[in-house]
Amino acid sequence: MKMRNRVLLWLMTGYLFLPGLLYGQEATGDPGQLELTLDQCIQYALDNGPAMQQAFLDERIGDREIKSSLSGWFPQISASAAGTKNIKLQQQIIGDQLITFGQNYNSSISLQVDQNLINREQIFAGRTSKYIKQQWDQNKTNVEIATVVDVSKAFYDVLLTYEQLKIIDENLVRLQKQYSDAKSRYESGLVDKTDYQRAAITLSNTRSNKRRADESVDAKLAYLKQLMGYPVDASLALDYNVEAMEEKALTDTSQVMLPENRIEFQQIQTEEQLAQLNTGYQKWAYLPTLTANYNYNWLYFNNAFSQLYDRSYPTSGLGLTLSLPIFQGGKRHQDIKIAELQQEKVSVEKQNLQKQINTEYKTALANYKSDLYEWKTIKENMQLAEEVYNIIKLQYDEGIKAYVDLIVAETELRTAQLSHFNAMYNLMSSKIDLDRALGNIEIN
């Protein structure tokens, strides 16, 4: 697509001329490979994502439907043609003569022009057109917001796995050294073989965890590509900075929630306006229909088919047609009542939506505060676990602590590190949910 090509061209230009802007401090992927930030992934998804493509098409369809409904105000021009072979002509006795009326062949060509002057359907179409267009615009905005939320969470999910892999890789280096040291001590006769056997078991389990994480990255990247509308066979690397993410995760929890900021509330407001207009439309059922019309007819008749169109006998007329509904068996009254009940139903839905939005906000705020507290706590625990491990590692190297103490400290450190990034991912997800509940998701 044109937009996709422009995005890729822009990225290539940045890669060639501004490499420093495209690479972050903690980017992943092969050297020289293009890496996308979260904002770039979101923009790509807004331009090429499957949900956005459908929203764009729905908007274009809606625009065509509006134009189609308003076309009735333009002159309606039609043409028709007919031909007849009279098998038996009409005859009548006049005086003492038998007179035959008509000829063997006749034909006509008609041109009809109608112009609506008063028509309740066209009046209704004109008054609702801007609200219907507004509905399609709001639907696209709703899809955009969902795209930003989904892509952001998928992006953070991939980063979580990247950070897990980084921790596992660091642990592998540590464990490999511990295994080598333990084996050397055993071979030197300083310790029995249980130390290096335990080290071998821990090293094997960590390698298994790394393999599992490696496999999950591919699946998570595939999901992110799906949301973005990114080519399946194209490689995708991500550019991110953990410190910047931590700062971005913090938000003001004292913000006031206003339902008017939510796109769902704006959508039901539009639906409410359309319901009001529909009630008025049903009341307009008592209005007459007034149409101006003009017609021009070319008449042809002859006893010989070959000479039928040699001469025409045209007729034309200009007039007005007024149609006034008088009695329809109570249909109009029932239609008005149905429209009023539908309007009342939308009002009830609006009240329920306000309560639902408030519940979503309270839930999102509670989850965010809980995840924020948990993240801070786990971050402190991680720092303590790192200090404990370093102390025990020194004590083990000096022969003060047993190897099992070192394994426990290493396990606690790895668990704390993984828990820290899990907590940070939960916090970032909660932040996104809170922004959505507040109506603060920004669309570029």
Give the pLDDT of residue 229: 92
Q: Evaluate if residue 14 carries a pLDDT over 70.
A: no
Give the pLDDT of residue 192: 66
CA 61 to centroid of chain Cα atoms: 16
Do residues 16 and 122 make contact, with C-beta atoms less than 8 angstroms apart?
A: no
Q: In the numeric block, which tokens belong to residue 59?
A: 């908007």
Give the pLDDT of residue 205: 80
- State the Cα angle at 9 between 5 and 12, rounded to 5°: 140
Give the pLDDT of residue 79: 95
Give the pLDDT of residue 1: 43
| Residue 319 neighbours by CB under 8 Å, 6+ apart | 292, 293, 294
How many Cβ atoms sit within 10 Å of the Cβ of residue 348? 9
Q: What is the mean pLDDT of the chain?
A: 85
Q: Evaluate if residue 185 carries a pLDDT over 80.
A: no
Do residues 112 and 79 make contact, with C-beta atoms less than 8 angstroms apart?
A: yes
Q: In the numeric block, which tokens belong to residue 109?
A: 């060509």
Q: Round to whole Å and give the CA distance between 434 and 149.
A: 11
Q: Per-residue pLDDT tens for 381-413?
A: 999 998 998 898 888 778 788 777 887 888 888
pLDDT category at 294 given cuts 50, 70, 90 is: very high
| Residue 257 neighbours by CB under 8 Å, 6+ apart | 357, 358, 361, 437, 438, 439
pTM for the predicted model, two decimal places: 0.78
Q: Round to whole Å and give the CA distance between 54 and 144.
A: 11
**Burial code of 13-40, b = ≥16 C-beta within 10 A, e = fewer?**
eebeeeeeebbeebbbbeeeebbbbbeb
Q: Evaluate if residue 267 carries a pLDDT over 50.
A: yes
How do the domains of the chain map onto residue ranges?
Answer: 2-74+119-288+326-438, 75-117+289-323
Give the pLDDT of residue 152: 94
Q: In the numeric block, which tokens belong to residue 243?
A: 């410190």
Which residue did the predictor score with more confidence, 51 or 28? 51
Mean pLDDT along residues 215-244: 88
Torsional class of 311: left (φ above 0), alpha (ψ -120 to 50), beta (otherwise): beta
DSSP state of 255: P
Torsional class of 229: left (φ above 0), alpha (ψ -120 to 50), beta (otherwise): left
Q: Evaluate if residue 30 carries a pLDDT over 70.
A: no
Mean pLDDT along residues 242-255: 85
Mean pLDDT along residues 186-213: 74
Task: Tell me whether strands 105-118 and 289-302 are parallel, antiparallel or unpaired.
Answer: antiparallel
Q: Evaluate if residue 32 carries a pLDDT over 50.
A: no
**Burial code of 238-276, b = ≥16 C-beta within 10 A, e = fewer?**
bbbeeeebeeebeeeeeeebebeebbbbbbbbbbbbbbb
Q: Per-residue pLDDT tens for 70-90?
A: 999 999 999 999 999 988 888
Query: If we measure between CA atoms, which residue out of 228, 157, 149 comes closest to residue 440?
Result: 149
Q: Round to whole Å and give the CA distance between 2 and 146.
A: 23
Q: In the numeric block, which tokens belong to residue 114?
A: 């109608």
* CATH classification for the domain delimited by 75-117+289-323, as one of 1.10.3120, 2.20.200, 1.10.287, 3.30.450: 2.20.200
pLDDT category at 33 given cuts 50, 70, 90 is: low
Q: Round to whole Å and give the CA distance between 94 and 345.
A: 72
Residue 91 pairs in a beta bridge with 100
Give the pLDDT of residue 321: 92
Which residue did the predictor score with more confidence, 201 or 2? 201
Q: Please name the fold of domain 2-74+119-288+326-438.
A: Outer membrane efflux proteins (OEP) (1.20.1600)
